[in-house]
């Protein structure tokens, strides 16, 4: 059906039906949000004057400014962030380049980002990268074409050629859960966090300690393996290769419940000389590991003690001992850093690295550590030899 036909039908409908039948639709039309044209008409000024009022232009007289603002208040008008940004050569839109949309870790960080950006009246746009190998292609095809005020780059290595382009065009970039010396960065000390987690198991008397890891293509997975190995070596315990299992899954780099379930099943196929405790690289993997133990008739921590990493909401429900990452706080800080960078592009890059905190629950086999002891444990482990 052509547009002209639709218009004709709409016109005939208006002529054939009594006007009172259209009153509900009149209410919908009246309820549409006001525009600067409505304000200009009621304030008896041009739309250019209205625009200058909302952008605090000095050329508008006090009387005209007051009249326009009074009309805007009466109409309950709020300028759209994008429209207002155009006047300042900004879009009021921030792009988040993120490898996975559905992991708990990123969801909690994005909640923190959004809470800050909503204060700044900025829109958050998400751009997903399916696999780290596709970063360059994704940046080339989509990200560089997007007109945004700044970018948050999550958990991936920034290709050097794109880093040069962003620096040349002075595009503000904040690295989250990643690092580049030329950009502001916010990250977590994965290596030291794994070191603390493993040391906690050692302090509880475990001698046979294993690790259930994600895909070693992932930087956090590699760093957490190094922290685990360092703690075991310092305690002069045996590092049995059979007790260290890494996922080969490329789905979320193996940071999934299914990956944890499958790796724990591999552990349990050999019933001889099993580790008495396992450090798991993420809480979501630990949930799968617990399911596999339950199927095999094993109890946690009586048969195998577990310590996870992240402290997502699920960890509390599972009573899982874990290393807490300040995910929401990292997101808020990322938003704050981006706002600072937009207001002052010439400031030197800053780099913040959080130390995860040990949260003791039932799965490690001990509930003796109260808040003070846990804090002392974190401090003692953090003050150990630097990695």
The answer to whether position 48 is within a domain reads: yes
Question: Is residue 144 pLDDT above 80, yes or no?
Answer: no
The answer to whether position 53 is within a domain reads: yes
**Main-chain phi, psi angles of 230, to 5 degrees:** -65, -45
**31: Cβ–Cβ under 8 A, 6 or more apart, which residues?**
none
pLDDT tier, 291 (very low <50, low <70, confident <90, very high otherwise): very high
61 and 118 housed in the same domain: no
130 and 55 housed in the same domain: no
143 and 182 housed in the same domain: yes
pLDDT tier, 89 (very low <50, low <70, confident <90, very high otherwise): low
Q: What is the pLDDT of residues 210-256, one digit of tens each?
A: 999 999 988 889 999 999 999 999 999 988 888 999 998 877 788 99
Which of 87, 117, 133 marks a domain boundary?
A: 87
248 and 372 housed in the same domain: yes
Contact 268, 234 (CB under 8 A): no
Q: Give residue 149's domain range.
A: 93-189+329-354
The answer to whether position 342 is within a domain reads: yes
Helix (H, G, I), strand (E, B) or coil at 186: strand
Q: What's the pLDDT at 146?
A: 63
300 and 335 housed in the same domain: no
Average pLDDT over residues 188-210: 96
Give the rounded percent of residues in the chain with a pLDDT score beyond 90.
41
Q: What's the pLDDT at 257?
A: 93
Q: What's the pLDDT at 342?
A: 86
Tell me the pLDDT of the chain averaged across its residues.
81
197 and 271 housed in the same domain: yes
Contact 99, 110 (CB under 8 A): no
The answer to whether position 387 is within a domain reads: no
The answer to whether position 281 is within a domain reads: yes
Q: What's the pLDDT at 102?
A: 59
Q: What's the pLDDT at 143?
A: 59
Question: Which helix or strand (DSSP H or E) is residue 92 part of?
Answer: none
Q: Residue 163 is encoded by which pair of tokens?
A: 């880093």
Q: What is the pLDDT of residues 106-138, one digit of tens each?
A: 888 988 998 888 887 788 888 877 666 677 776
Alpha helices in 270-318 (DSSP H): 283-295, 313-317
64 and 37 housed in the same domain: yes
Closest CA to 124 of 158, 144, 102, 97: 97
How many domains is the chain built from? 3
The CATH number assigned to the domain holding 81 equals 1.10.260.40
pLDDT tier, 327 (very low <50, low <70, confident <90, very high otherwise): very high
**87: Cβ–Cβ under 8 A, 6 or more apart, which residues?**
51, 54, 55
Total residue length of the chain: 387
Which of 87, 111, 144 marks a domain boundary?
A: 87
180 and 266 housed in the same domain: no
227 and 184 housed in the same domain: no
98 and 172 housed in the same domain: yes
């Amino acid at each position: 059906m052509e547009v002209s036909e639709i218009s004709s039908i709409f016109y005939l409908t208006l002529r054939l039906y009594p006007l009172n039948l259209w009153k509900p639709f009149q209410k919908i039309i009246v309820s549409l949000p006001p525009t600067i044209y409505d304000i200009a008409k009621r304030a008896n000024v041009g739309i250019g004057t209205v625009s200058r009022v909302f952008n605090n232009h000095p050329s508008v007289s006090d009387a005209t400014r007051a009249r326009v603002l009074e009309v805007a208040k009466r109409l309950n008008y709020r300028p759209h962030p994008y429209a207002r940004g155009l006047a300042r050569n900004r879009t009021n839109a921030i792009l988040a380049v993120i490898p996975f949309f559905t992991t708990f870790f990123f969801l909690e960080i994005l909640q923190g980002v959004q809470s800050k950006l909503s204060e700044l009246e900025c829109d958050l746009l998400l751009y997903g990268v399916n696999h780290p190998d596709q970063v360059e292609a994704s940046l080339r095809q989509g990200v560089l074409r997007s007109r945004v005020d700044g970018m948050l780059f999550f958990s991936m290595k920034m290709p050097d050629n794109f880093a040069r382009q962003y620096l040349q065009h002075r595009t503000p970039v904040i690295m989250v859960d990643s690092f580049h010396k030329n950009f502001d960065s916010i990250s977590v000390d994965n290596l030291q966090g794994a070191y603390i987690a493993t040391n906690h198991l050692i302090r509880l008397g475990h001698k046979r300690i294993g690790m259930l890891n994600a895909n070693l293509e992932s930087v956090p997975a590699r760093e957490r393996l190094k922290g685990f190995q360092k703690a075991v070596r310092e305690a002069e315990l045996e590092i049995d290769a059979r007790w260290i299992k890494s996922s080969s899954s490329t789905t979320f780099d193996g940071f999934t419940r299914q990956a944890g379930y499958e790796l724990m099943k591999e552990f349990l196929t050999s019933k001889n000389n099993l580790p008495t405790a396992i450090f798991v690289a993420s809480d979501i993997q630990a949930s799968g590991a617990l399911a596999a133990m339950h199927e095999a008739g094993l109890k946690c921590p009586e048969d195998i003690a577990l310590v996870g990493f992240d402290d997502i909401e699920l960890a509390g429900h599972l009573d899982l001992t874990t290393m807490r990452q300040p995910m929401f706080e990292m997101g808020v800080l990322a938003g704050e850093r981006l706002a600072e960078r937009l207001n002052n592009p010439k400031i030197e890059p800053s780099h913040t690295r959080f130390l995860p905190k040990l949260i003791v629950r039932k799965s490690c086999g001990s509930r003796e550590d109260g808040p003070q002891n846990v804090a002392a444990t974190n401090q003692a482990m953090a003050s150990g030899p630097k990695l």
